[in-house]
Amino acid sequence: MKKKITLVKRRQVFSRALIYTLLIVVLSFIFLAPVIWTFMTSLKTPKDAFALPPKWNFSPKWDNYPKAWLSKDFAKSFYNTTIIGLGSVALTLALTIPMAYALVRYKFRGSQALGIWLIGAYLLPEMLFMIPLFTIYNILGLYDTKLGLILAFQIFNLPYSVWLLKGFIAQVPREVEEAALVDGCSELGILLRITLPLIGPGLSATAILAFITIWVELLIPLSLSYTNASTVAVSIANFKGYGAFNWPLMAAACIVAIMPQMVFFLIAQKYIVAGLTLGAVKG
């Protein structure tokens, strides 16, 4: 009898393992197929890229990558996006940390309404802000500048980051902070020495998600920049010509653009998972 029960359990474990394995393979293929297709296109000639049915046996054209890097000011846009992304994330964290801490630890009049307003602002369509910002930026001289884009990205990164950090800060026991307060630590000291080290994974997750959002954003830099502050997304869109597409060069530019995100995400994924798990209980 015991042998039959053991055999049944083994079959159940094997069946579940097989199902999970198949799900992992299928989902991995679904998510990786576009990247693999883009990579293959980046190694073709324009004629091979348009071939129907698709041409699987071809001589790879690795020179598409240096051509893409040197075309349409892509290298300059890559540099611009890096500077804008790092600057925007730094500003977002500098503004978000005290704001999220105040919303969690201090119950003042209108705090709940402020939290609702933040998430409401995040849900508004981007186009709603572009015309006013375009007019204001032209008046202030911020149009087509890195500083202008760094400030513009706060419209969406700030509300989203506040809501993320609220969940992380809420997980820190208030008793720990009160003990530090009794020992003579100031409120600022508690935030810098106690709270921030404890929510390190949450800060990493917030910074990484904000940076990825900036890296792939198209509408804001397309509306508020031209050449000096052009980003990667705008540069890739400019590979499209009048009545013609150079798909291999565009595909090569896309692969180059996503590589930093993939490497950065793989290095920091444990912090992202730990951070999102940390804020999963309270919000």
Residue 140 and residue 12 in one domain: no
How many domains would you assign to the chain? Answer: 2
Q: Check: CB of residue 156 under 8 Å from CB of residue 122.
A: yes
Is residue 11 situated within a structural domain?
yes
What is the widest separation between alpha-carbon atoms in the chain?
A: 84
Query: At which residue do the structure tokens 């884009």 appear?
Result: 149
Residue 245, beta-bridge partner list:
240
pLDDT value at residue 78: 92
Q: Across residues 154-178, what is the average pLDDT?
A: 84
pLDDT value at residue 86: 93
Residue 240, beta-bridge partner list:
245
Q: Domain containing 195: what range? A: 65-278
Is residue 50 situated within a structural domain?
no
Is residue 263 situated within a structural domain?
yes
Residue 137 and residue 171 in one domain: yes
Residue 165 and residue 115 in one domain: yes
Mean pLDDT of the chain: 83
b/e code 154-187 from CB counts within 10 Å (16+ = b): bbbbbbbbbbbbbbbbbbbeeeebeebeeeebee
Q: Across residues 4-19, what is the average pLDDT?
A: 74
Is residue 47 situated within a structural domain?
no
Is residue 202 situated within a structural domain?
yes
What torsion, rounded to 10 degrees, do the Cα atoms 189, 198, 156, 213 define?
A: 130
Give the Å distances, CA to CA, from 163 to 3, 59, 166, 278, 280: 53, 49, 5, 13, 12
Tokens of 11: 């079959």
Q: 86: buried, middle or exposed (CB in 10 Å: 19+, 13-18, 0-12)?
A: middle
Is residue 49 situated within a structural domain?
no
**Kind and range of the H or E run holding 105:** helix 74-105
Identify the weakest region by mean pLDDT among 41-45, 105-109, 230-234, 247-251.
105-109
